Structure formats: C-alpha cells, structure tokens
C-alpha cells in the first residue's frame, strides 16, 4: 500500500509555483463536449482526477490527448450519451459532464453518483435545474436518464449556491433556445474561468462571479485555446506548510483575491503576509493566535481549506472554533489529528480546537483529499516520524506534492 513518510520539524523555506486548478480544469474539460472541433486547454494539473476526466471524454467518443500540462481535444464524432459507472464512482465531478452531453446530444444516461467521505452529496439541485430547462428526468436501475431534444431557456433559482449545479446548468444553457437566468448561483473563481472559456467559444454568458448569471443560448460553440487559472486551494495549503513549520514560503502564480478569506484568517492568527500581484509570501509572526472560522460559499472561507486550517490551529495559542456549513461530514481528519496529539472536540458541525505546543508523529490515514492535506501539514510540524496512508486521495488533487515539499526542505518520501 502506498504511503508517505515525513520526519517533521523542518522549517520549509523558498518559493513554489502553484499548478492549475483541479476544480477549474474538470468542468472546463467537461465543457469541451459542447465545443465543435479542436480545443487546447493549457495549465492543466497532472492529477489522477484529470486522467479520469480524460477517460470520461474518450468513453463518449471525444479524442483527448494529454501531453504534460496541455490537453488537446478533438470533438468531431458522433457522441455517446452513456457515462460509465466505473468513472462516476471514482470521481464526483464526473456528473459535471451530464449538462454538456444533454445539451449536445439531447439525452444523457449517468449512474447516480453516490455519497463520499465528506457527505451524502445529492444532485437534486442539478436535476431541478435541467427540469426547469424542459428536460424529463427518470431514475431507473441506478441510472439517471435525462432527456430533452432541445433545451429551452428558463428562470432557475437555486435553493443553495451549488458549485457543480451552477456549472452544469450554465453549460447546458449555452446551447438552449432563449435566455436562462440562474439566481442564487455559486460565485467561485472556477465558475468565472468556465464562463470565460465558454464565451471565447461563442457563448453569451454574463454575470459569472456574481449570484445572478444570464445565458443567452446560441446554436453552436467552437473549439478554443484556454489556460486554467491557478489552484487557490493548493496555494493556501502551501502557505500553511510554511507557517506550520515556522518557515517562510513564497507562492508564485496565484491570484491573491481568490483566497482573501484565507488571508484574513491567517492575518488574524498572526502570520506576516506580503501580497503582490501574483505572489504571496508568508512568514510566522511573533504570535500564533487562535481564530474562529466558518466555512461558506465563495467569497466566504472555503470548505476545501477547512481541514488544513484545523491542522494549523491545532498548534495555535488558545481556543479556536471551526464551523463547517457546506458538507455535513467533513471532520474525518479530526480523529487522525487527535492521534497526533491535537486537542479537538467536535459537536455536530462545530470543531473546538484547543491549541497544543507540539504534535507528535504517528501512523495516520487520509480519508479524503483535504483530510490528507491536513495530515501532511500536521506531519511536517510534528516531532518525529509520521506515516500517512491513503496517498491516493491526495494525488487526486495536489500535483507533485511530495516533490514540491522536498524542494522547500521537507524530509518527506513516498513509499510504494
């Protein structure tokens, strides 16, 4: 079983370049289903989730060639409408391809995505959105079948600003007849990136990045070249790697505005930040204070940074609280952090963290991607040796993490 061994307490210092955003690359790759001809997507991170999406595109007859950080896509053939079960169970973002296939082919059959380690993750908001655009939805034998020969623009009001549902409905509506308005839309930077790709391809989308998005349907979209935005979650995780080890790390190729909620929290905790146009340097201050964090849809504090900030606050002076409002079960890392000596108590969706002076290395298991990142951070700070199992989770979302941390001075090794 693959695992990672870290000998902690080495201050990480230096500069690191942040990769392209997984959560932007995945919906953008799904969107290429809508684009006729050839597209080139650049700055795509090399991750297992990306390989899964390449396989997904190939499974429906799209030619997708990955060459390092570039993916060339040829969409010239007759597309299939069936998404393989095996791929959907591997990666939740597989469901993001449903909207584009529906709009392009007139129907899609997709296995019902199950829950995962962070929550039950239903797709009701996506399905109600498709129905509002005129689609018929049927659930049968574990598959969702969605049909509509020609989608019609509509008013779609979300009960919650779901990132995936905003992306799915926005993509589907680009080829609908007439105008669609999504209200209570998610405002994440990855949605803006997706809208920019689609607009380059000929779509007419306005308002992406706000809570109201308008999409005027067009008859056709063309292949484009597009560069994926930097990964704000990787950037935040790397800044914490420097801070938790009392080192000094500069992250390059970042967009500071995308992580302003994290930067505010770090400032409250006492970190010294130097923010430039596309780089941020973080160094520990004279104090390492506690903080109270509430995860929220963007521009709030991202749930995808919740586990990592918990590892950091486990070593702060005083009592911190974290309230997780997005996923109902995203505290799986707490028991593993406790095994490393953290003092954390959870009460439903609230974690109460009493800072301790030291963590101690232990054998621990990552149960999901960001839980894994939290354990990596804890291992970097802890006294002695930490062995982390569940490496496959971290490899879904962090490109060359072991190499990047080694270059910054970490004593870290992947063992096969």
Ligand X SMILES: CC(=O)N[C@H]1[C@@H](OP(=O)(O)OP(=O)(O)OC[C@H]2O[C@@H](n3ccc(=O)[nH]c3=O)[C@H](O)[C@@H]2O)O[C@H](CO)[C@@H](O)[C@@H]1O
Ligand Y SMILES: C=C(OP(=O)(O)O)C(=O)O
Quick check: 160 binds ligand X (CB under 6 A)?
yes
User: Could you write out the DSSP letters of every residue in 109-159?
Assistant: EEEPP--BTTB----HHHHHHHHHTT-EEEEETTEEEEE-SS-B--EEE-S
Quick check: 93 binds ligand Y (CB under 6 A)?
yes
Contacting range for ligand X; rule: CB under 6 A; set: 37-45, 120-128, 250-258, 310-318: 120-128
- Do residues 6 and 412 make contact, with C-beta atoms less than 8 angstroms apart? yes
Residue 70 CB, nearest distance to ligand Y (Å)? 22
- Do residues 364 and 336 make contact, with C-beta atoms less than 8 angstroms apart? yes
Quick check: 397 binds ligand Y (CB under 6 A)?
yes
Q: Would the annotation count 22 as a binding residue?
A: yes
Q: How far is CA 117 from CA 323, 331, 366, 368, 370, in A?
A: 18, 10, 10, 6, 11
User: Could you write out the DSSP letters of every residue in 8-28?
Assistant: --PPPEEEEE--B-HHHHHHH
Q: Which is nearer to ligand Y, 23 or 32 (CB)?
A: 23
- Among ligand Y, ligand X, none, partner that 147 touches (CB below 5 to 8 angstroms by kind): none
**Site for ligand Y, residues 223 to 282, rule: CB under 6 A:** none
Contacting range for ligand X; rule: CB under 6 A; set: 5-13, 163-171, 259-267, 378-386: 163-171
Q: Which is nearer to ligand Y, 304 or 336 (CB)?
A: 304
Angle, nearest 10°, between helix axes 124-132 and 98-105? 20
Tokens of 145: 């079948």
Token pair 């684009």 in the structure block, residue: 35
For residues 57 and 27, what is the distance between their CA atoms, to the nearest angstrom?
12
Kindly give, in sequence order, each residue whose CB lies less than 8 Å from that of residue 348, ignoring residues fewer than 6 positions away: none
Q: What are φ and ψ of residue 277, in 5° steps?
A: -55, -55
Quick check: 92 binds ligand Y (CB under 6 A)?
yes
**Site for ligand X, residues 279 to 308, rule: CB under 6 A:** 303-304
Q: Would the annotation count 204 as a binding residue?
A: no
Q: Which is nearer to ligand Y, 23 or 245 (CB)?
A: 23
Q: Would the annotation count 23 as a binding residue?
A: yes
Kindly give, in sequence order, each residue whose CB lies less than 8 Å from that of residue 216, ignoring residues fewer than 6 positions away: 153, 178, 179, 204
Q: Would the annotation count 289 as a binding residue?
A: no
- Among ligand X, ligand Y, none, partner that 124 touches (CB below 5 to 8 angstroms by kind): ligand X
- Do residues 80 and 61 make contact, with C-beta atoms less than 8 angstroms apart? yes
H or E element, residue 3:
strand 3-7
Quick check: 390 binds ligand Y (CB under 6 A)?
no
Quick check: 121 binds ligand X (CB under 6 A)?
yes
SS (H, E, C) 83-114: CCHHHHHHCHHHHHHHHHHHHHHCEEEEECCC
Pick from 263, 273, 298, 251: nearest CA to 19: 251
For residues 309 and 315, what is the distance between their CA atoms, to the nearest angstrom?
10
Quick check: 170 binds ligand Y (CB under 6 A)?
no
Q: Would the annotation count 354 as a binding residue?
A: no
Residue 245 CB, nearest distance to ligand X (Å)? 25
CA 248 to chain centre: 25
Quick check: 333 binds ligand Y (CB under 6 A)?
no
**Site for ligand Y, residues 349 to 378, rule: CB under 6 A:** 369-370
Quick check: 304 binds ligand Y (CB under 6 A)?
yes
Residue 154 CB, nearest distance to ligand X (Å)? 17
Residue 288 CB, nearest distance to ligand Y (Å)? 25
**Site for ligand X, residues 316 to 345, rule: CB under 6 A:** 326-327
**Residues shown for the chain:** 416
Quick check: 165 binds ligand X (CB under 6 A)?
yes
Residue 50 CB, nearest distance to ligand Y (Å)? 11
Q: Which is nearer to ligand X, 27 or 361 (CB)?
A: 27
Using Cβ positions, the residue closest to ligand X within the complex turns out to be 164
**114, 122, 178, 318: which one binds ligand X (CB under 6 A):** 122
- Among all residues, which ones are annotated catalytic? 116
Q: Which is nearer to ligand X, 121 or 414 (CB)?
A: 121
Quick check: 398 binds ligand X (CB under 6 A)?
no
Helices (H) and strands (E) counted in the chain, each on its own, are 14, 24
For ligand Y, the binding residues (CB under 6 A) are 23, 92-93, 304, 369-370, 397
Give the residue ranges of the annotated binding site. 22-23, 92, 304, 326
- Binding site for phosphoenolpyruvate, by residue number, is 22-23
Residues at the binding site for UDP-N-acetyl-alpha-D-glucosamine are 92, 304, 326
């Amino acid at each position: 079983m693959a695992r990672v061994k870290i000998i902690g307490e080495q201050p990480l210092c230096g500069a690191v370049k942040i990769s392209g955003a997984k959560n932007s690359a995945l919906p953008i790759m799904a969107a290429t289903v809508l684009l006729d001809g050839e597209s080139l997507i650049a700055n795509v991170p090399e991750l297992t989730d990306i390989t899964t999406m390449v396989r997904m595109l190939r499974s429906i007859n799209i030619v997708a060639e990955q060459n390092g950080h570039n993916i060339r896509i040829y969409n010239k053939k007759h597309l299939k409408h069936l998404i393989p079960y095996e791929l959907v169970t591997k990666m939740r973002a597989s469901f993001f391809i449903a909207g584009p296939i529906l709009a392009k082919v007139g129907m899609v059959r997709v296995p019902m995505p199950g829950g995962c380690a962070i929550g039950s993750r239903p797709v009701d908001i996506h399905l109600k959105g498709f129905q509002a655009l005129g689609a018929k939805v049927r659930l049968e034998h574990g598959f969702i079948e969605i049909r509509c020969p020609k989608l019609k623009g509509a008013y779609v009001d979300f009960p919650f600003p779901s990132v995936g549902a905003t992306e799915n409905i926005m993509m589907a509506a680009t080829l609908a007849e007439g105008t669609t308005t999504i209200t209570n839309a998610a405002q994440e930077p990855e949605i803006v990136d997706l809208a920019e790709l689609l607009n380059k391809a000929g779509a007419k989308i306005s308002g992406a990045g706000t809570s109201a998005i308008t999409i005027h349907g067009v008859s056709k979209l063309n292949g484009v070249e597009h560069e994926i935005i930097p990964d704000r979650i990787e950037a935040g995780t790397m800044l914490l790697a420097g801070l938790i080890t009392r080192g000094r790390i500069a992250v390059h190729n970042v967009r500071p505005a995308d992580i302003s909620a994290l930067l505010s929290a770090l400032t409250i905790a006492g970190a010294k930040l130097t923010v430039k146009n596309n780089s941020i340097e973080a160094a520990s201050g004279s104090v390492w204070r506690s903080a109270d964090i509430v995860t929220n849809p963007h521009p709030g504090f991202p749930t995808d940074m919740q586990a990592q900030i918990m590892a950091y606050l486990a070593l702060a002076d005083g009592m911190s609280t974290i309230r997780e409002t997005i996923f109902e079960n995203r505290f799986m890392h707490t028991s593993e952090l406790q095994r490393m000596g953290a003092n954390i108590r959870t009460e439903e969706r609230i974690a109460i963290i009493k800072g301790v002076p030291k963590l101690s290395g232990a054998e621990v298991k990552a149960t999901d991607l960001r839980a894994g990142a939290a354990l990596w951070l804890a291992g970097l700070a802890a006294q002695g040796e930490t062995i982390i199992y569940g490496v496959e989770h971290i490899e879904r979302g962090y490109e060359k993490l072991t190499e990047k941390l080694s270059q910054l001075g970490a004593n870290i090794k992947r063992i096969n």
